Structure formats: structure tokens, C-alpha cells
Amino acid sequence: MIKAIFTNSFGILLSRILGFLRDLLTASILGANIYSDIFFVAFKLPNLFRRIFAEGAFTQAFLPSFIHARYKGKFSVAIFARLMAIIAVLSIFVTLFSALVTQMIAFGFDAATVELAAPFVAINFYYLDLIFIVTFLSALLHYKKHFATTAFSTALLNISLIGALFIARDLEKIQIVEYLSYGVIVGGLLQVLVHIVAVQKVNMCKLMLIGLKTKRSHPEDTRQFNKSFVPAIFGSSAAHLSAFLDTFLASFLMAGSISYLYYANRILQLPLALFAIAVSIALFPTIAKAIKNQDETQALRYLGRSFWILLFLLGASTVGGIVLNEQIIELLFERGEFTSTDTAYTAEVLGMYMLGLLPFGLAKIFSLWLYSHHQQGRAAIITAKSLGVNIIFALMLIVPFEAKGLALASSIGGMTLLFLTIKAFGFERFQKIIQWKYLALWVATLTAEYFLLEILKHVFF
């Protein structure tokens, strides 16, 4: 499992480095204004679905059902065909009613801005069709404990967008948005291609062909997936739905607010993806198989080990992100069209977002226990409650604190999510994981890190 974690982490790190290069170029070429807001809104909906699908929901519903399935080939083909048809119809709907969809996801945009953004919303949405294919194939690869292709493939999207920015850098800003939108589609096609090659190499294409030819089926296999999938979508997406909510509410604020939230959330997503998501992807097949074999002791052992790894890594990232928030934004984004004023606003938002890093990350691994027991519905209820808390605080904080108030509300929602997830996991089980000597070491380490960073900040900045 450790090898799988490092594989995922290294692949995600490469992708995020390229992602930050992409964001650096976007900030420099587009800045933080109405045009960057339009692209981020257009990319928000398919990117939300990408994160929900690729970072949990589909795999968390599909993999336990696939492990238990009697006729795995037939089950795989049936699930793929059904969901692909639904997503294709949804994409056509977005194309036909792109202005309405744009108005829904950026309600604060005026009519002229909606008209300007609508075509790009339609183009970007087709990335969802491509990323579903990628996610389905990656689930088959995860079953074979092949993680490298999925971990590294997201880099292809960033490479495509970087290429689009270089090609369009001297054009009008609205044309740059158009090039970026088509760059998203090219990146998706490249991801599909490399996954097809990987699935062929692990000999899973043969399983799919058998599924197409065979007439045998077991209704209970698909019935269990159907019961799990929709709750899994909602249950695994608290952090992403919070970010989507932030975008919706930020459309009522001053121009650039959506961009401030986007850039700050990108910083948050780096340690979240690099550590929490990498660990959960590697951990889930092991936990699911242990639960199937009724070996709770082994499952708890792996879960406890992952908990301590994440507690130290995410804790250190939280302290660093809060203490050096302004320096991080200045280093990454302040150039070209992105001004020092933009840096100050974005840094404040980042500080509030970082408070939610540890809760969102830890909740992700404890939720695996629920998914392995086919308790996706319970996880969905927990997410709904945390989002309710998020919405309440967002409405309370948006007027006095604007964008940073939305980020703080998101973090409060994350804290609620963690508490409720541990409650569902079981406080008695959680106490078995906690070791007070490690907890004391964790507190001492973070305290030392805080004072060291404060000293370094005053010396060098």
C-alpha cells in the first residue's frame, strides 16, 4: 500500500506542479477580472463532476460492487453503458440551454456576461463525457492495483491548457478563454487514450469483451451499485460542493472575487490531493477487500496507519499555508495582470481555506469505512448536514467579510463533516486509533513549525 501511496502522490505532485504553472500563466495573461471569472465559471461545472467522479464517488460505489459481482464483465458493461448514456444526454441539454445553465451556476452575472459565458460553458461541459470514461477505466485499473496511469494522466490536461495559453497569449482576452475551453477537451481526449492503453496492458479489455458477449447476469450486482452510487456522489463531494457554492455566492461580489476563491482553492487542493486523496485512493481497495473478508482488525490497522500519516502531513501543510499565505500567493501568481492588490485579497481567502484542510482530508479516509460497508446513504446525509452548516455561515459571513467569509464558512463545514464522519465511524473505534504520545508529538511539531516559520518570515520577508 505504501508503494501505491507514493505512486499516487508523485503523479499528483507532477500534475499539480503543471497545474500551478498553468494557473501562473492564466493569472499573468488573463489576470483576475471578468474574463478569468468567465473561464473559471465555464470550467467549474465539469471540473466539479471530474473531482466528484475521479476522486471518489464512482470508484467508492463501483469497486465494492465489482469485487462482489458474480459476472464482473457483464456488470462492468451494464454500468458503463447506462451512465455514459445519461451523461451524453446531460451534455446535449447543457449545449441547448447553455445560457440557463450559466445563469444557474453564476446567478450574479448580468445578462451581457451570461451571454458571453454561455458558449464556453457548453464547450467545457463535454469534458465530463471524457472524464467519465477515464474514471471508469481507472476503477478497473485500481482493482488490479495499477495506480500510476490515473495518477499521472491529469498532467495531460494541464499540458493541454498550458499549450492553449502559449498559442493564444497575444490574442484578445475573450479569444484566450475560447482557446482554453478547447484545450480542456483536448486534455480529456489525451487522458482517455492513455487509459485505454493501460487497460489493454493489464488485460482488462478481455473482461469487457466477455461482458459484451455473455448473456448471463446477476441483478443483485447492479442493484447494489444503484443503491450506492447517487448517495456516493453526494457523500464524497463535500469539499468540492463547498467550492462550487463559493463560486455561486461570489458571483454577487465585486469582479475578481471568483478568481480570488479559485486561486486560493487551488493552493488548498494541492496538499488535499497530494496526501489525502492519494492515500484514500490507495487505501480503499485494501479496506474494501478486508471488509468483504470480515477482517475488521486488518482494516482498522491500515486505517490507523493512514490516519497518522495524514495528521502529520496535513497539519504541517495547514500551519505553512496560514503563516505564509501572502508569500505563497505572491510567489506563484503576482506578475503581469495579477497585481499586489489581488495578492492581498487572495492571501486572506487562502488563510481561511487552510483551516479546513485537515478536517476535509481526515474525513475522506474515515468515510472509506462507510463506503466499504455500503453505507453511502449515511455518508450522503452527513455531507448534507455539513453543507447546511456551510450555507448558514456563508450567508452570515458574506456581507461583512466577502470572499474570505465564504472560505471560512467552507472550513467550518469541513469541521462539521469530520465530526459527523468520526461519529458514524464510531468513537470507540476512533479511540483505538488514537495514541496520546503521537498526539503530543504532533502538537509539539506543529508548534515548533509555527514559530520557525514566523522567524523565517520576518527575517527573509
For residue 356, the model assigns a pLDDT of: 95
Residue type, 27: A
The 3-state DSSP class for residue 147 equals coil
Q: How far apart are CA 159 and CA 165, in angstroms?
A: 10
DSSP line for 47-78: HHHHHHIIIIIHHHHHHHHHHH-SSHHHHHHH
Contact status, residue 23 vs residue 266, Cβ threshold 8 Å: yes
Task: Report pTM.
Answer: 0.71
Per residue in 226-252, pLDDT tens?
A: 777 767 666 655 666 676 677 778 878
Q: What percent of the chain has pLDDT over 90?
A: 30
DSSP 171: S
Cell of residue 461, nine digits: 520577508
Q: What is the CA radius of gyration of the chain?
A: 22
* Cα maximum dimension of the chain: 71
Q: State the pLDDT at residue 257.
A: 84
Tens digit of pLDDT for each residue in 157-188? Answer: 989 999 999 898 888 888 888 999 999 999 99
pLDDT surpasses 60 at 125 = yes
Stretch 406-413: mean pLDDT: 93
> How far apart are the C-alpha atoms of 57 and 376, rounded to whole Å?
9
pLDDT tens for residues 297-349? Answer: 888 888 998 999 999 999 999 999 999 999 999 988 887 778 888 899 999 99
Domain boundaries defined on the chain: 2-460
**Single-letter residue type at 228:** S
354-369: average pLDDT:
93
Quick one: cell of 74? 457483464
What whole-number distance in Å separates Cα of residue 72 and Cα of residue 382?
Answer: 31
Burial (0-12, 13-18, 19+ Cβ within 10 Å), 191 = buried
| Whether residue 71 has pLDDT greater than 80 | no
Residue 453's pLDDT band, with cuts at 50, 70 and 90, is: very high
| pLDDT confidence of residue 92 | 93
Cβ atoms 131, 183 nearer than 8 A: no
Do 33 and 259 meet the contact criterion of CB atoms below 8 Å apart? Answer: yes
By CB neighbour count within 10 A (0-12 exposed, 13-18 middle, 19+ buried), where does 269 fall? buried
- Could you tell me the pLDDT band of residue 442, with boundaries at 50, 70 and 90? very high
